[in-house]
């Protein structure tokens, strides 16, 4: 769907978060007097409310109602609203058409050259790293998508390449042809939204099917990807012999000075180095996976990154991803609020360490099984674990059932402020307070950034 199809259609926007607001702005720019309806299941920010015109903008707050939505020709779905919800399935069966902010952007920018990145873990860092390396190589880049600024909010940009982070929410009904699709890994995540692991896997793998000419880069060490994409035409791998592989503290390839082909004719030896050590800005083995993926994209494009080691040292990393806030009274505080999966919590503990660490853990309950994490944490048990609503008690039950018994004990808190106060009492001298929730921030925070900023404030940092 293109915006021009909206001119004479009845249109409603589902969701008034970042994407919904971006859609509203674009429609208003094109059709200043067009009546629009917005449906939000949660409170709307006051700043946005002030922008609405009561004469032509109608705002509905509350659960989605099929009867109220049925009269519209087009519904613009925000990513957080599941395509599998009964209300949307029913409306679709009755002929109501859907689109998304992402699909509108692709329709409006058909000539854009795009690198689309997805995966259960690491997609934000990988997208930011790809954009950084391409810029260092002299390529004009725009970094957009799920990583922060909505794609529709980029006005007048004309980069050589768009680097776009996509969530499974956005891919599920994506209508696009990425020039390069990058898939990092697939593990259990968002099972409530996708109504099961099979839908989740299929929605992630759809990105590879959409890639316009077979330019797909995927992680060979992820068994879901290696099995599912084994016969995909033109697949290019990382973590496979001869390609970029991730070690614990570096990435390497064993084909220095030779050209490997990824099956679609694209050479994979543009970068002259065969071994790259981890810079301080990319700590942990999980970041070596991200770096291997990013270097594979650079090679696929046939680019050389001058002074690669210097380029990596200049990469500042992402806020809220293992972000050091500093020390207070000898205690370190690390903000990993962007962590929304149990796998990312394990990666945080592997990177930060577990001794003398008080871990703040928990958030929105999406029905994930935490027993695997509980077994994993037996080998790296923090000094203490404090859980947060809403799934805090569920996590505690899994930890206890697995025999996790921290020296500083297991605790449940009523909220983040109480958790930080308790952590400051429990943490050993010269220890660390680590916020790595492993779960989304809703409904207690606006988003992971809000949660991270609240943690900063409660910890006593400006």
Where are the domains positioned within the chain? 3-102, 109-313, 323-459
Residue 50: HSE in the Cβ half-sphere, 13 Å Cα cutoff: 3
Q: Is 261 helix (H, G, I), strand (E, B) or coil?
A: strand
pLDDT in tens, 275-289: 999 888 898 999 999
Are the C-beta atoms of residues 444 and 455 closer than 8 Å to each other? no
Determine the average pLDDT of the residues in 351-357. 94
- The pLDDT value recorded for residue 316 is 87
Determine the average pLDDT of the residues in 121-127. 94
CA distance 172 to 167: 9
Rounded to whole angstroms, the maximal C-alpha distance in the chain is 66
- The pLDDT value recorded for residue 134 is 98
- The pLDDT value recorded for residue 214 is 67
- The pLDDT value recorded for residue 137 is 96
CB atoms within 10 A of CB 430: 11
Q: Name the pLDDT band for 259 (thresholds 50, 70, 90).
A: very low
CA distance 31 to 35: 9
- The pLDDT value recorded for residue 452 is 98
Share of the chain above pLDDT 90, in %: 83
CB atoms within 10 A of CB 393: 13
Determine the average pLDDT of the residues in 92-96. 96
Topology adopted by domain 323-459 = 3.90.190
Torsion of CA 54, 56, 62, 66, to 10 degrees: 160
Q: Quick one: CA dihedral 29, 32, 36, 41, positive or negative? A: positive
Determine the average pLDDT of the residues in 340-364. 94
CATH 3.30.2010.30 is the classification of domain 109-313 = no
For the cut 70, the answer to whether the pLDDT of residue 348 exceeds it is yes
* Choice among 3-7, 71-75, 256-260 with the minimum mean pLDDT: 256-260
Share of the chain above pLDDT 70, in %: 95
- Comparing C-alpha atoms, which of 344, 373, 346 is closest to residue 357? 346
What pTM value is reported for the model?
A: 0.88
* Choice among 69-73, 95-99, 231-235, 455-459 with the minimum mean pLDDT: 231-235
216-219, strands of its sheet edge to edge: 141-145, 161-165, 114-118, 180-183, 216-219, 235-238
> Could you tell me where the beta strands, DSSP code E, fall in 339-431?
357-361, 384-387, 410-412
- The pLDDT value recorded for residue 146 is 84
Question: Hey, what CATH class is 3-102 in?
Answer: alpha beta
Determine the average pLDDT of the residues in 40-61. 95
384-387 and 97-100 as β-strands: parallel, antiparallel, unpaired? unpaired
């Amino acid at each position: 769907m293109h915006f021009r199809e909206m001119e004479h259609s009845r249109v409603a926007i589902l969701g008034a978060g970042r994407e919904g607001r971006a859609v509203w702005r674009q429609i208003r720019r094109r059709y200043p007097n067009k009546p629009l309806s917005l449906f939000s299941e949660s409170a709307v920010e006051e700043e946005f409310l002030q922008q609405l015109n009561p004469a032509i903008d109608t705002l509905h707050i509350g659960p989605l109602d099929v009867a109220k939505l049925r009269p519209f020709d087009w519904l613009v779905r925000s990513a957080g609203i599941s395509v599998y919800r009964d209300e949307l399935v029913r409306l679709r069966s009755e002929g109501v058409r859907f689109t998304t902010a992402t699909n509108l952007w692709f329709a409006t920018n058909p000539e854009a050259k795009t690198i689309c990145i997805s995966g259960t873990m690491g997609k934000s860092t990988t997208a930011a790293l790809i954009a950084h390396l391409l810029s260092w190589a002299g390529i004009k880049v725009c970094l957009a998508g799920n990583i922060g600024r909505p794609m529709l909010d980029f006005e007048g940009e004309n980069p050589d390449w768009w680097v776009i982070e996509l969530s499974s929410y956005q891919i599920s009904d994506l209508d696009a042809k990425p020039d390069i699709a990058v898939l990092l890994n697939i593990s259990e995540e968002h099972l409530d939204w996708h109504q099961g692991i099979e839908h989740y896997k299929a929605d992630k793998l759809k990105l590879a099917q959409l890639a316009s000419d077979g330019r797909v880069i995927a992680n060979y060490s992820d068994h879901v990807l290696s099995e599912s994409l084994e016969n995909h035409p033109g697949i290019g791998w990382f973590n496979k012999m001869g390609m970029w592989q991730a070690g614990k503290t570096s990435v390497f390839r064993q084909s220095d000075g030779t050209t490997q082909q990824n099956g679609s004719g694209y050479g994979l030896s543009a970068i002259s180095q065969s071994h790259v050590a981890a810079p301080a800005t990319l700590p942990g083995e999980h970041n070596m996976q991200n770096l291997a993926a990013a270097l594979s994209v650079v090679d696929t494009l046939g680019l050389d990154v001058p002074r690669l080691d210097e380029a990596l040292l200049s990469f500042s990393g992402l806020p809220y991803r293992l972000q050091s806030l500093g020390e207070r009274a000898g205690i370190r505080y690390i903000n990993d609020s962007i962590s929304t999966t149990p796998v990312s919590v394990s990666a945080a503990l592997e990177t930060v360490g577990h001794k003398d660490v008080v871990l703040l853990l928990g958030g929105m309950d999406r029905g994930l099984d935490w027993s695997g994490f509980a077994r994993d944490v037996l080998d790296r048990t923090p000094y203490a674990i404090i859980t947060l609503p809403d799934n805090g008690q569920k996590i505690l039950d899994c930890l206890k059932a697995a025999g996790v018994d921290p020296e500083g004990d297991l605790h449940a808190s009523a909220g983040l402020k109480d958790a930080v106060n308790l952590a400051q009492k429990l943490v050993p001298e010269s220890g660390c307070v680590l916020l790595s929730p492993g779960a989304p921030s809703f409904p207690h925070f606006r988003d992971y950034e809000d949660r991270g900023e609240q943690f900063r404030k409660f910890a006593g940092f400006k």
